[in-house]
Structures are given as C-alpha cells and as structure tokens.
Amino acid sequence: MLDFIKAAVLGIVEGFTEYLPVSSTGHLLLMQHFFGFGDENFGNTFAILIQFGAILALLSIYFVRIVGLSVGFFIDATARRFVLGILLAFLPAAVIGAALHNFIKTVLFNPWIVCISLVVGGVALVWVESLELKPRHRDVITFPMPMYFLIGVFQCLAMIPGVSRSGATIVSAMLLGSDRRAAAEFSFWLAMPTMAGAFAFDLFKSRHELSWDWNSGGLIAIGFVVSFAFGWVVVKTFLGYVSRHGFMVFAWWRLIVGALGLVGLTLGLSWR
C-alpha cells in the first residue's frame, strides 16, 4: 500500500509541476533525496512512463490545434512558418541534450544544484516581473524566427535540474518581447517536441534496464493516470492564471522550496 501511495504522490508532483516554471525534475530529485521517493523504489520504467502521462495530457488538450497545424503545414504559409519556428526552437536542446546526456544524468542531477537553481530561478522571475516590459508580441504564431531560436537556446539552461524548462522559455520569451500569456503558451508548444524527444531518448538509453511485473505495472498505472490528470488541470488553467496574476507566486514557491532544501542539505535531514 505504501508503494502505491508513493506512486500517486510522484504522479501528482510530476503532473502538477511539469508545466509550471518550478522544475518538475528538481522536485522529483528532492523527493527522492529527502523522502526516498524515486527510481530506487520503482525503477526507470516508472520515472519514464509517468512523464509520458504529463506529455499525453498536453497533447490531448492541443490535439485539434496540432491536427490543424499538420494539415495547414502543406497549404498555409503562416502554419508552416510556426511549425518551422517550433522545430528551430527545439533544435538546440536536441543537439546539446543528446551530446551531454550522460554528463547531465551523472553530474548535474545533484540536490545541491537543484536547490541553488530553484533559488536563482526564483530571483530571476522576481526580477523579470519587476521590469516595466513593453510587449511587442502577443501571438506565438507571429514571433520572429530569430526569437524562436533564441528561446530554444535559453531552454537549454533547463538541462540543469532545478532551472525549469518552462521557466527558462517563459523568462526568455518575455525578455525578447512577448507578453506573459504568449510566453507561457509557447512554453507549451515547445514542450511537445522537447518532452517527446527526451522521453524517447531516455526510453532508448534505458531500454536494457526497463523492468515489468504485475506489481510494477500497477504502480506505473497509478503514477501515469495521476500525472495525466494533474498535468491536464495545470495546462487548462495556467494561461488564464498568469494572464491575470503573473508569475510571482511561482517565484516565491521556488525561493521557499530551494531555501528549505538548502537548510535540509546543510543539516543532513532525511525522512526516508
């Protein structure tokens, strides 16, 4: 029963934090370090497939628009330009992620790095929110092509656990002239190839370590469904929330979690 509770908790953390600028990977690593919730309990299969639940939540919500873009790619110049812009933004992460995969997993996946990154990212969000920015772009489809690429370059910072993929893309988009809503929406669009690519690459790299039995299958099912459900809720509500309230709540969230994590690491606390 305890393992099923842990699976549900990890599904909640993955689904709830994946699309917010707070770093899902960072939260999962801290859960593993302080509470023993992680791969050591369930294996690589679990970690990979609950992320797939969050990916499917996003794809299900954007399904009609994805189909429209797929069809429009061949007949509409605007749709074709946007698809190419997404692929251009995805390119830096695809190249650097594949080249540095082992280094990222073995060196950067460190709770100290996570906590410091959470704090630094929280300060960055506070700073961006304090600026009197004058947005020039309010529609993700009309971003300039160089802007798509630069956002993709900034996204690579999220390979450091705790930085947050959505946080890096949102902050960079706003600094490059996007309003809050469009910046958050583009983080969703860019998440599709980025997360799908990372999922496929992790699945391939871990193919010899993947395991399955009826008990692990039940744990994976729980984590997958919970991750899907919470990811779906976040995607459906996030754009409206940030349009009205901005990102300060996420900045404070990062600062508090990062600071508490640093205190816990300094004191050697653990509740495993």
Q: pLDDT digit string (tens) for 126-184? A: 999 999 999 999 999 999 999 999 999 999 999 999 999 999 999 999 999 999 999 99
User: Residue 163: helix, strand or coil by DSSP?
Assistant: coil
Structural domain contains residue 233: yes
116 exposure class (CB count in 10 Å sphere: 0-12, 13-18, 19+): middle
Of 232, 206, 261, nearest in space to 42 by CA: 206
Of 120, 200, 106, 126, nearest in space to 158 by CA: 120
Range of 219's domain?
2-267
Q: Residue 14's pLDDT band (boundaries 50, 70, 90)?
A: very high
Percent of the chain with pLDDT over 70: 93
Structural domain contains residue 149: yes
Structural domain contains residue 272: no
Structural domain contains residue 199: yes
240 exposure class (CB count in 10 Å sphere: 0-12, 13-18, 19+): exposed
Four-point Cα dihedral 100, 106, 110, 114, nearest 10: 20
pLDDT per residue as tens digits for the range 85-128: 999 999 999 999 989 988 998 999 999 999 999 999 999 999 99
Structural domain contains residue 72: yes
Structural domain contains residue 28: yes
Say yes or no to pLDDT of 188 above 70.
yes
Q: How many domains does the chain have?
A: 1
